Amino acid sequence: MAYSRDRFLSEGFGRRYLWIDVVNSMQWDGRGNVTDHLEDDSWVRACLVRWDLGVWTTAMGSSTQELQKSRSLLRTLVTSWSASRTLAAPDLRAVNAALGVPVRRIFSRDPRGWHLAIRPLRSNAEWIGASALESFAKAFTEDDPERIKICPNGGCRWVFFDETTRNIRKWCRDAACGNRDRVRRSRLRFRS
């Protein structure tokens, strides 16, 4: 089934940061089954439309490996951050290297007003990966990185941004992973 904008949003994508969608594009269902959304052109198109990154073309489709490398780097970064609340110098160098995509600035006007936009010299998977890494950096510079979390369910590992008032959210979805954990603990108590 192809991804529409509504399906993309209803499955938990497109919420706060592009980088979270890229990391979660390798999706575990909590029971050990994995879906790689980067292999689904309709998912990639829905993601690009949501984050205003252009149109997915056949030329880009042949470079999903570049997006998979960005996803791998982002997963490494968020795992490191979750474990130690710091990013090592090699991680920062990797981010800065990936951000080095050539861009141009475009000044324009439309009915809503004046705009200054940064656009790539070439729209490709490398640009999309750099945009995802830029959104990761913005989570640290413009938001509270302490709210970046990974679902503790080992079969899920969904990355999310905790938007609760007191930063107390633990599970990606309380009704799914949280409930599974409560059932698991209840069964353990019952067996004891």
pLDDT along the chain (192 residues), means of 10: 90 94 91 88 91 69 80 96 93 94 93 91 87 95 94 89 92 75 73 75
Domain residues of the chain, as ranges? Answer: 5-86+124-191
Q: Please report the DSSP string for the chain in residue order.
A: -PPPHHHHHHTT-SSS-HHHHHHTTEEE-SSS-EEEGGG-HHHHHHHHHHTT-----HHHHTTHHHHHHHHHHHHHHHHHHHHHSS--HHHHHHHHHHT---EEEEEEEETTEEEEEEEESS-SHHHHHHHHHHHHHHHHHTS-GGGEEE-S-TTT--EEE--STTS---SS-IIIIIHHHHHHHHHHHHH-
So what's the pLDDT on residue 10?
A: 92
pLDDT score recorded for residue 56: 65
pLDDT, position 179: 73
The architecture CATH gives domain 5-86+124-191:
Orthogonal Bundle (1.10)
